[in-house]
Structure 1
Amino acid sequence: MTGFYHQTALYGSDDEFLTIAVPFVEGGLRAGQPTVIACAEKNTTLLRDALGRDNGVTYLPGADQYARPADAIANYRDLFGAYARAGAPQIRTIGDVPHPGLGVPWDWWGRYENAINQVYAEFPLWGLCPYDTRITPAEVLADVARTHEYIATASGEHLPNADFGNGLALSRLVPDVLERGSPLVTLIDPTPAAVREAVNAAIGGTSLSDDDAHDVVYAASEIVTNGLTHGVAPVLFRLWADASRVVVTVTDRGPGPSDPLAGLVPTTATRTAGLGLWILHRTCDYVSMGLGDDGFTVRVSVGGPGQT
């Protein structure tokens, strides 16, 4: 196999999950292919029990591997690159991509599932992304169908997915729960320096760590700079906070970046604004981007994952 064979599997019971996943793993092991599992704790336990503890599989803690999409991409690219350089003819992986059914916002993970069709294409990779239909929201399943070219079934088939397409651009806008209140800061067409000053003043009473405080100031300055430089005026900056978490949004009247990989990988554009967007995707707890009726918005949460 050459290139990325991106496959999903929809299952409705633990037994159905194992019926799909175990033969996939065992096939890789029989062929001597590097086989990696990065699942949530429940599915990892199911697979360990079914496969045996000493089976040659590489297990990655799912919560660590899928902490942030940009981190997941960077870590996987390092791992897959090492296997490919060592001569692996094929690599297999199973990963539980986070979603609201697992207590995690979906926006940037939907972008991840779309982006990896491109960013893993250079590797001889067979990736299986299972989704539990008992807990996965319908809108997530719709995005899954659009981003996976193949489907694995409990009957052992590996079928082309008729719903697959590259139409998933930037993620849909999902306001954070903090945005139900009035913003603590509202600025129109502010300079980055004015934003940094306003953010520092607003977060002074929170319990953010020094690192988190630095991250939110950097993120606010960066996305305002991007809006002023690449967006369409007016550029609206807003900030909400509670005792432990800060949310900032920047909205402009432009269409946003055309590159679906923006922020997820250090593309060639990252010598300018894109580099900062990629950095905040790797440091902030949650980032979403999308078009709405009032323009293009970047939303950043620091101090914990975004909440809806």
Structure 2
Amino acid sequence: MHPTGDWTGKAFAHEAFLYSSDEEAVARCVPFVQEGLDRGEPVIVVASEAVREALLAHLGDEAGRLAVVAASEGWWQGGFGTLAAYDRDLQQLRANGTPWRLIGEPTWLALPDGRVWSRFEAVANDAYADLPYYSLCLHDTRRLAPDVLEAVLRSHPMTWGGTEPVASPTYEDTATFLRQAEPAWTERPAGALVRQVGDARQARALVGEVLGGEQAGEVGGLAGEREQDALIAVNELVSNALRAAGSAEVSTWREDGCRVWEVADSGPGFHAATAGYVPPADDLDCGRGLWLARGLASDATVRATGEGAAIRLFFRD
């Protein structure tokens, strides 16, 4: 058996392992852990209670050499909250200067709001490509819906072939996966409110005007906290557009129980499908606005084609 194939510890390796019994999970994880310990690589385990207990029982005294053993059940903080914590820990490990390996089980994929995690799994393939670690992602077929498992195999470059990792036959590159996973970019409805704005103050006034009208009794409406989220998020996108192009087109409408905000400009556009998904470096101001806006909205999508930049934010009532 070759638990990590030809992985050299110099770049990111990303495997999806689907299992239907605790015994299957342990049979995959024990050689993976032992190889890491033999190589002197930190081994981190963040998994369900059943997998943790079974794995620790099989490892015996060797379990004490694991760098981290933690419950995955308490990790879910929403998509962007969990990703921020994940990113912080990865950067700390990177600073140590040695390869490491992770057994991670995103149990939250079974939650209605947890399905979005497959997008972050896809983003990781680009955003963390140069990090020296192997991520073995466990997925319990007894708990996860078929469409979730399908997304898992589409967002992970590798799966288990029985004796070594092999290429996932349904894997898609990050941009392709995100285009299908994010809300589809459809024609803006004829009744949408559209305004050109030349400064952030005008954008804030527009958002306040629209949301104030909803609170006064028009169709639908956001609660106070979500109203503030929308105000901040749109302001961030408009600020980005003003820096890129000097002006922005802001439009808004209601759709399927959501207030939708679109901010478009004629600037250079987005250069990466992962824009706004990964927390920007602490010492950089650029990129923080789109990250913040995505995190505040219920969902978001970026125009896949066309000149300039355009992003839509969805705020559910």
Q: State the TM-score, normalizing by the size of structure 2.
A: 0.67
Name the SS for the 1:113 alignment partner.
helix
The change in CA–CA distance for 1:131 and 1:285 in structure 2 (over 3 A counts) is: farther
Contact preservation (8 Å) 1:22, 1:47:
no
Counterpart of 1:44 in structure 2 is: 49
Q: Tell me which of 196, 206, 213 is aligned to 2:207.
A: 196
**Conserved 8 A contact 2:297-2:313:** no
Alpha-carbon deviations, 1:269-292, whole Å to 9, x = none? x855x431112334x264331559
| Corresponding residue to 2:103 among 94, 97, 121 | 94
- Determine if the alignment matches structure 1 residue 187 to structure 2 residue 202: no
Does structure 2 retain, via aligned residues, the 8 Å contact 1:281–1:287? yes
Larger radius of gyration, structure 1 or 2? 2
Q: Contact 2:174 / 2:273 at 8 angstroms: preserved in 1?
A: no
5 Å matches for 1:1-308? 1-39=9-47, 43-52=48-57, 55=64, 56-62=66-72, 65-88=75-98, 90-97=99-106, 101-107=110-116, 109-153=117-161, 155-166=162-173, 168-169=175-176, 170-172=178-180, 173-174=182-183, 187-189=193-195, 191=197, 192-198=203-209, 200-201=211-212, 202=214, 208=223, 212-223=226-237, 235-238=250-253, 247-250=259-262, 257-266=270-279, 271=285, 274-282=287-295, 284=296, 286-290=298-302, 298-301=312-315
Contact 2:11–2:130 (8 Å) recurs in 1 = yes
Q: CA RMSD in A?
A: 4.3
Native 8 Å contact 1:94 1:127 kept in 2: yes
- Distance in 1 between residues matched to 2:277 and 2:298, nearest whole Å: 12
The residue that corresponds to 1:306 in the other structure is none
Match of 1:180 in 2: none
Query: Per-residue CA shift, 1:219-255, capped at 9, x if unaligned?
Result: 233346667977x99753135899xxx754437699x
Runs of at least 5 residues in structure 1 that lack an aligned partner in the other structure:
176-184, 304-308
Q: Counterparts of 1:101 and 1:194 in 2: how far apart (Å)? A: 40
Number of aligned residues: 281
Unaligned runs of 5+ in 2: 1-8, 185-190, 198-202
Match for 2:96: what amino acid?
A
Distance in 2 between residues matched to 1:285 and 1:94, nearest whole Å:
30
* Same amino acid, percent of matched pairs: 23
